[in-house]
Structure 1
Amino acid sequence: MNLEQASQNNLKFILEGIGNHLKVANRGLLDPNDYDLNKYDDLKMMYDMIKQKGNLSALEAQAFLDELREVRKN
């Protein structure tokens, strides 16, 4: 899968990956319909950082969740 291309399928894949890695219980926060594709690069960067970092502290995980809330559509 080429995640360099912004698409709804890639957005869904990235959000699912972020949710799985952060062990998000409330998956409503990760509904792809709540995100604009113009924010895809920001989300991809977060996904890459999470994957590269591996284990996250509770504070780091919370920071990523806060950032997700910021890029969601209002």
Structure 2
Amino acid sequence: MDLTIKSAENIEYMISQITTKLRMVNADAIKSSQYNEDVYEDLHDIYEMVMKKNTFSPNEMQAIVEELGNLRK
């Protein structure tokens, strides 16, 4: 999958991977349809950061979720 291409499919994939990696209890609260291609670069940056780490503190998880909330349309 080429994540350098801005597409709804890539947004859906990244959101899915982020929620899985963070083991979010209510992953349905963050839906890929809530994001558009205008915030793709920011979403991609969050995705890359999340994928690089193995564990997250509660504060880190909260900050990531808040940032995802800020990026919603």
TM-score (norm 2): 0.92
Gaps of 5+ in 1: none
> Do the aligned residues in 1 keep the contact of 2:8 with 2:36 (CA within 8 Å)?
no
Task: Find the counterpart in structure 2 of residue 33 from structure 1.
Answer: 33
- Whichever residue aligns with residue 6 of structure 2, its letter is A
- Whichever residue aligns with residue 51 of structure 2, its letter is K
> Do the aligned residues in 2 keep the contact of 1:14 with 1:47 (CA within 8 Å)?
yes
Task: Find the counterpart in structure 2 of residue 57 from structure 1.
Answer: 57
Task: Find the counterpart in structure 2 of residue 24 from structure 1.
Answer: 24
> Do the aligned residues in 2 keep the contact of 1:18 with 1:47 (CA within 8 Å)?
yes
- The CA distance in 2 between the partners of 1:35 and 1:50, in whole Å, is 18
> Do the aligned residues in 2 keep the contact of 1:29 with 1:69 (CA within 8 Å)?
no
Task: Find the counterpart in structure 2 of residue 68 from structure 1.
Answer: 68
Task: Find the counterpart in structure 1 of residue 3 from structure 2.
Answer: 3
- The CA distance in 2 between the partners of 1:30 and 1:21, in whole Å, is 14
Identity of aligned residues (%): 30
State the superposition RMSD in angstroms.
Answer: 1.0
Gaps of 5+ in 2: none
Q: Deviation of residue 24 (structure 1)?
A: 1.3
Count of aligned pairs: 73
Q: Deviation of residue 30 (structure 1)?
A: 2.1
